[in-house]
């Protein structure tokens, strides 16, 4: 076991409240491409940041709708990986673990994590683009049409936060409360470039929390962390769970 992993495990075991922020890297080993990965196939010519915006949807709703339909299928076929499962295991043995995710794939919930704070929404939910109420997509929706809200007739859209859109108030408040109250905040699989999610680590530190990062690569957060575990979440999180479980309180 590496020294930093043993130290982080000991810190986890002693913490009354742990805050976790996950990013696309945690779902990478489930086959869900990260935002920094190049898109594949027919989406290769597009950048995610250019499609995940209200302007893109207004300009070409069918293109954006099809991109999300492709991602929904990819996510539905994906399975939680060992990293997702280990995080659910840590939540079960620690006094309090608040999980904030930037991911919209629902894999943490499918792995058994509870009370997941979906900071950027969830791709499996579809809402009216005007009323924002959840709507189920009619099965007989033609593939060359964006379905419309049965209530008001407006276009339907994925229940995710696009660039330039505000984080849902409940998620923003819950994440802010957790980050401010935790003693240890761990950023896992995130490039720490998307705000305001990336600011949660600083909020935690300003309130006295120790910071840790689990990522194969350095990020803008790395220099401000107390613990750094360089590697993938599917390898390091099970090892961390095992190390924490081995420490008798
Ligand atoms: C807002 C849902 C205001 C959609 C997403 C301050 C400074 C700079 C910019 C801004 C700022 N404030 C606001 C902005 C603008 C913008 C922003 O941050 N832009 C960035 C690009 C500079 N932010 C916004 O627009 C936000 N809204 O601020 O609104 C407002 C307020 C009031 C009223 C109106 C408006 C909204 C941002 C949310 C955007 N939506 N997702 C969808 O998914 O389609 S964000 C999207 O990006 C995903 O959620 C994804 O999670 C995220 C990308 O970040 P990461 O998760 O970190 O993923 P990434 O690919 O970047 O990195 C992967 C990491 O994993 C890497 O580090 C890699 O090394 C690592 N990794 C790889 N493999 C593994 C691994 N780690 C572990 N294990 C592995 N195996």
Write down the mean pLDDT value for the chain. 95
Q: Whose CA is nearest to atom 71 of ligand 1?
A: 25
Q: What is the DSSP string of 11-70?
A: HHHH-S-EEEEE-HHHHHTTT---SSSPP-GGGTTS-HHHHSSHHHHHH-HHHHHHHHHH
Instruction: Calculate the alpha carbon distances from 159 to 95, 109, 129, 131, 136 in Å.
Output: 31, 16, 9, 12, 12
Treating both helix axes as pointing N-terminal to C-terminal, what angle do 82-93 and 233-246 enclose, rounded to 10 degrees? 30
pLDDT in tens, 155-205: 999 999 999 999 999 999 999 999 999 999 999 999 999 999 999 999 999
With a 6 A CB cut-off, is 190 part of the ligand 1 pocket? yes
Q: Return the best residue to mutate from 28, 32, 35, 172 for the ligand 1 pocket (most ligand atoms within 8 A of CB).
A: 35
Q: Are 225 and 215 in contact (CB under 8 A)?
A: no
Residues constituting the chain: 249
With a 6 A CB cut-off, is 103 part of the ligand 1 pocket? yes
pLDDT in tens, 13-53: 999 999 999 999 999 999 998 887 767 777 778 888 889 99
With a 6 A CB cut-off, is 160 part of the ligand 1 pocket? yes
Measure the CA–CA gap between 172 and 240, rounded to whole angstroms. 28
Annotated active-site residue 120? The verdict is yes
Residue 155 has what DSSP assignment?
A: B
Q: What confidence tier does 1 reach under pLDDT thresholds 50, 70, 90?
A: confident
């Amino acid at each position: 076991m590496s020294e930093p992993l043993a130290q982080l495990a000991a810190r986890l075991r002693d913490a009354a409240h742990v805050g976790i922020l996950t990013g696309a890297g945690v779902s990478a080993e489930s086959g869900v491409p990260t935002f920094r990965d190049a898109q594949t196939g027919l989406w290769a010519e597009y950048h995610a940041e250019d499609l995940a915006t209200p302007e893109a949807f207004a300009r070409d709703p069918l293109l954006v709708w099809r991109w999300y339909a492709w991602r929904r299928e990819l996510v539905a076929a994906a399975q939680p990986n060992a990293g997702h499962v280990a995080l659910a295991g840590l939540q079960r043995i620690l006094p309090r673990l608040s999980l904030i995710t930037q991911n919209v794939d629902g894999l943490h919930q499918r792995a058994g994590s509870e009370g997941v704070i979906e900071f950027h929404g969830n791709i499996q939910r579809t809402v009216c683009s005007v009323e924002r109420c959840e709507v189920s997509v009619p099965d007989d929706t033609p593939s060359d049409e964006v379905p419309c809200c049965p209530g008001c007739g407006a276009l339907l859209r994925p229940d995710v936060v696009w660039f330039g859109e505000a984080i849902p108030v409940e998620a923003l408040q819950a994440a802010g409360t957790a980050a401010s109250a935790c003693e240890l905040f761990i950023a896992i699989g995130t490039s720490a470039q998307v705000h305001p999610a990336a600011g949660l680590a600083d909020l935690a530190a300003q309130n006295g929390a120790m910071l840790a990062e689990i990522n194969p690569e350095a990020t803008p957060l790395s220099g401000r962390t107390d613990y750094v575990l360089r590697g993938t979440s599917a390898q390091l999180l099970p090892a961390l769970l095992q190390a924490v479980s081995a420490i008798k309180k």
